[in-house]
Amino acid sequence: MLPLTSALLVIALAYAGWIIFNRWREGRQAETQYEQKQREDARKVVEAYGGERVKIHTFSADSGSLAKGQSTQLCYGVANAKEVSIEPKPAEETWPSMSRCVKIQPEQNTTYIFQPKMRRDTRRKRNLPLRCID
């Protein structure tokens, strides 16, 4: 009777060990897949914001046309820029930002040029024409 009980005990322990090992391995695989998905999601976010290069997200005015002397907001958003410039220069200071607005008050038809500068000294540019109505 003792050898049969010992054999059954060994088989039960081997089976329990196999179940524990497989559950550990499946948990490890699930964890690895989760980490890969997180890395992929993070990469997508970085790419959406321009990755390593300058990316202009927005450059717009509250109004496309306005009366002479009337003011409006000129808004811009840029990623990975070292500095930014807007020509003609607005009264307020400009700096790299994901979302910033400055007040402008054109006296005549004006095309604003938004130019962020990258770290590697290359530039991108976007134009925005505004029409002044008499």
pLDDT tens for each residue of 99-112:
999 999 888 888 89
- pLDDT for position 53: 79
The predicted pLDDT at position 66 comes to 82
Angle of CA points 60, 64, 67, to nearest 5°: 130
The tens digit of pLDDT for each residue in 72-121 reads 999 999 888 888 889 989 989 999 998 999 999 888 888 899 988 876 65
Assign 122 a pLDDT band (cuts: 50, 70, 90).
low
pLDDT at 133 over 80: no
pLDDT of residue 14: 94
The three-point CA angle 126-132-134 to 5° equals: 170
Tens of pLDDT, residue by residue over 27-54, are: 999 999 999 999 899 888 877 776 777 8
63/33 Cα distance (integer angstroms):
48
Tell me, what's the pLDDT at 120? Answer: 61
Cα–Cα distance for residue pair 118/77, rounded to 1 Å: 14
Instruction: Report which of residues 132 and 101 the model is more confident about.
Output: 101
What does the pLDDT look like over 4-19, one tens digit per residue? Answer: 899 999 999 999 999 9
